[in-house]
Amino acid sequence: MRTDLENARLTLEQGGYTCVLCREGETFTGTEHGVRPLMSWLRQGADLRGCSAADRVVGRAAAYLYALLGVKVVHGMLMSEGGRQVLEDHGVQASWDTLVPEIRNRTNTGLCPMEQAVRAAHTPEEAYQSIAAAIARMQTSKGTT
């Protein structure tokens, strides 16, 4: 029988998702890019404590949100050193396929905007507030709500 983490990783690889969380037969999937699925689950008050997660990209921003969600283990296909450290600092086991110094933006011209947003954060709660504010600013600048 596969572990929750093995199920999450397999579903991520085969299902075209951006992140997958598994817990004792339950599966939660996200298809949006970045931290949006994690933010949605937090806003909805989803109980994801004890889940095992597999994610395409895990930087500091996602790591803080996983800690806030109460996830017990996170595997990132791509994980930043900062993301690994945040997870470990909050008692979340971390594994990865590729470990990089930082998560870059989609055009590779600088740091990911969510990583920039959490630079000064020291707690998952601070990170959540910073990420929510950054997303709101991005939506306003694009003219969307």
Distance separating alpha carbons of residues 38 and 62, to the nearest angstrom: 8
* SS3 (DSSP) at 50: coil
Distance separating alpha carbons of residues 20 and 13, to the nearest angstrom: 10
**pLDDT over threshold 70, residue 130:** yes
Tell me the CB-side half-sphere exposure of residue 11, using CA atoms within 13 A.
26
What's this model's pTM, rounded to 2 decimal places? 0.94
Closest CA to 64 of 42, 44, 83: 83
Mean pLDDT in residue range 36-43: 96
pLDDT in tens, 42-57: 999 999 999 999 999 9
